[in-house]
Amino acid sequence: MTITKLPQADTPTYTHRIDTDEVRPRFDALVEELAHAVFSVDAIATGLNTSLDTVGTIVRSVPSHEGRLLERGIAMLTGFNPDLVVLTQNIRLPVSKAAVELVEMNRPAQYRSLTLDADCSGRKSYAPDLIVLNRKTHVAHVVEVKRSLNSYETSRITDLKTRMLAASLIVPDLLYKEHRRLVAEDVRVVILNAENQRTDIEGGVWPLSHLDHLLEVTGAGEMMKSLQQAFRDRIEQNWKQALQSVSGGIEGRGVSAAAASPTQANDTPATAGSDTDPPPDGIVRFGFARIPIARTG
């Protein structure tokens, strides 16, 4: 897997932009909430005073909490594009044997027009972190958010992409039946790698900095990087204070009480197509996420 950079001339500009003044307080509250849950000064100090196993448990939980932070942050930023509907909770897509065989044994062009019934059963399933649908373009993205792919072998990434493509075959039927007649005519899968390494733009592995293109919102990628850094800085700050507390330098002080959790995007009903919208009757396309064609508007 190689690192691919977009030429500057190919980078489109978007009508929608991130309002930093609006997002910053919400991101601060999100960092406060997740950091206080497990990584408060008192919790870390207690771990340091207990055992190495307890400390190890705290450290090992950092990636999962950071992954949750990124998912919720992206869901917040989708609100800056009024054409987007985002699904974030309780998404479980069946992965049937037939779907896997379609993906493994055929080129994408040979199954792009096929859709599978959302009610089909399978021993395996796949739960994406997000499904983002643009109601205007009818493009749906099945999104997997990874804090890092450094520990992933190539075969493991390939297997993940196969499951994502196989699961995406039921997305049009799922959106139409279970989410207010939402219509998807083009379903694309993308893995967002927050470390911006081991990217494969054509193969559906994007750096987090390309979030602008996924949401069609200028500044989304940079805003997410600042959220990630703020979370890491808070944990490091709490860790240093806990060490000082344990060593007797200062009294352990926890971070302020957890701020009220900002409303997640899924908690607010999104305006979707009415029940009278006609069902999708055109060709539904599937494949990896693609960078939009440059435009000047």
The answer on 105 and 52 residing in a single domain is no
Q: Are residues 202 and 96 in the same domain?
A: yes
Q: What is the pLDDT of residues 44-61, one digit of tens each?
A: 999 999 998 998 999 999
| 209 and 95 housed in the same domain | yes
Angle (deg, nearest 10), helices 52-60 and 62-77: 20
Does 51 share its domain with 122? no
The yes-or-no verdict on residue 265 having pLDDT over 50 is: no
Q: Each residue of 191-218: pLDDT tens digit?
A: 999 887 778 898 999 999 899 999 999 9
Q: Are residues 28 and 75 in the same domain?
A: yes
Q: Residue 96's beta-bridge partner residues? A: none
Specify if 256 maps to a domain.
Answer: no
Asked if residue 252 belongs to a domain, the reply is no
Q: What percent of the chain has pLDDT over 90?
A: 49
191 and 157 in a common domain? yes
Residue among 129, 134, 132 at smallest CA distance from 82: 134
Q: Please, is 90 exposed, middle or buried when counting C-beta atoms within 10 Å of its C-beta (0-12, 13-18, 19+)?
A: exposed
Q: Could you list the residue range(s) of the whole structural domain that residue 188 is in?
A: 82-216
Q: What is the band of 268 on the pLDDT scale with cuts at 50, 70, 90? A: very low
What sign results for the dihedral spanned by CA atoms 93, 97, 98, 99? positive
> Mean of the per-residue pLDDT values for the chain?
83
Write the DSSP string, 141-210: EEEEEES--TT--HHHHHHHHHHHHHHHTTHHHHHHHHTTT---SEEEEEEEETT--S-BTTTTEEEGGG
Flag whether 1 is in a domain: no
**71 and 172 co-located in one domain:** no
pLDDT of 295? 57
206 lies in the same domain as 239 = no
Do residues 34 and 126 both lie within one domain?
no
pLDDT of residue 263: 43
Confidence of residue 233 (pLDDT cuts 50, 70, 90): very high
Q: Is residue 62 part of a domain?
A: yes
Domain for residue 10, yes or no?
no
